[in-house]
Amino acid sequence: MSMSEELNKLRAQIDEVNGELLTLLSRRAELTKQIGDVKVAQGVNRFDPVRERDMLDMIVASNPGPFDNDTIRHLFKQIFKASLDLQQQDHQKVLLV
Amino acid sequence: MSMSEELNKLRAQIDEVNGELLTLLSRRAELTKQIGDVKVAQGVNRFDPVRERDMLDMIVASNPGPFDNDTIRHLFKQIFKASLDLQQQDHQKVLLV
C-alpha cells in the first residue's frame, strides 16, 4: 500500500469515528436534557459539582490512553459545559412560554 | 418509577455513554498518531487546515441535534487540537531519542 493509500484509509477510519462521536455526543445531550427536566420537576439545582467530579474520576480511572488524564478531563469538561448550557437554554425557553 | 429512580436510570445511561465516548476518543487519538507517523515519513506538514475544515463541514452536515452546529464545531475543534498536540509530543519524543 502506498503512503497516500495508507493516509486515505486512516482518514476514512477517522471520518467513521467522527460520525460515531457525533451520535454519542447527541445521545448524551438528549439524556442531560431529560435529567434537567427531572431536576426542574424536583426543584433541585441542575449543576451538581459532586456528580461532575465523580464522572470525571470514573472516566479517568478507565482511560486507556494515548490521551493523558488531563486532556481527557479537559475534553469531558467541555462536553459537560455544553450539556449544561443546553439544559439552561431549554429551561429558559420553558420560562418564556 | 419515582423521580430519584428516574434520575438514577438516566445517570447510569450517561455513565455508559461517557465510557463509549472515552473509547472512541482514544481510538481517534490512536488513528491520528498513525496519520502523524505517515505524514512524518512523507515529510508533509501534519496540520492540514483544509482537511480540518472538511471534517467539520462533514460532521455539522449530519448533526442531528440537540447541540447546535456552533457547539458541535467547538467540541470537535477541541478534540482536533488535543489530537494534534499528541502528534506533536509524539514527534518530539522521536527527535529526542
The nearest CA of chain B is from the CA of A95 a distance in Å of 19
**For residues B97 and B94, what is the distance between their CA atoms, to the nearest angstrom?**
5
B39: chain A residues, CB-CB within 8 Å: 7
The nearest CA of chain A is from the CA of B50 a distance in Å of 13
**What is the helix, strand, coil percentage profile of chain B, to 5?**
85, 0, 15
Region B21-36: mean pLDDT is: 96
- Cβ contacts from A onto B, under 8 A: 141
Q: What is the mean pLDDT of chain B?
A: 92
Per-residue CA distances from A9 to A3, A5, A6, B30 (Å):
10, 6, 5, 14
CB B86, CB B32: distance < 8 Å: yes
Across the interface, whether the CB atoms of A26 and B64 are under 8 A apart is answered yes
B94 touches chain A (CB under 8 A): no
Domains of chain B as residue ranges with CATH: 3-96 (1.20.59.10)
For the beta carbon of residue B21, count every other beta carbon within 10 angstroms: 21
A8 touches chain B (CB under 8 A): no
A21: chain B residues, CB-CB within 8 Å: 21, 24-25, 28, 76, 79
Give the model confidence (pLDDT) of A51-96 as tens digits: 999 999 999 999 999 999 999 999 999 999 999 999 888 777 766 6
Beta strand extents in A9-93 (DSSP E only)? none
Region B31-41: mean pLDDT is: 91
**For residues B94 and B46, what is the distance between their CA atoms, to the nearest angstrom?**
15
Q: Burial level of B83, CB count in 10 A (0-12/13-18/19+)?
A: buried
Per-residue CA distances from B26 to A14, A42, A65, B53, B76 (Å):
12, 36, 6, 22, 14
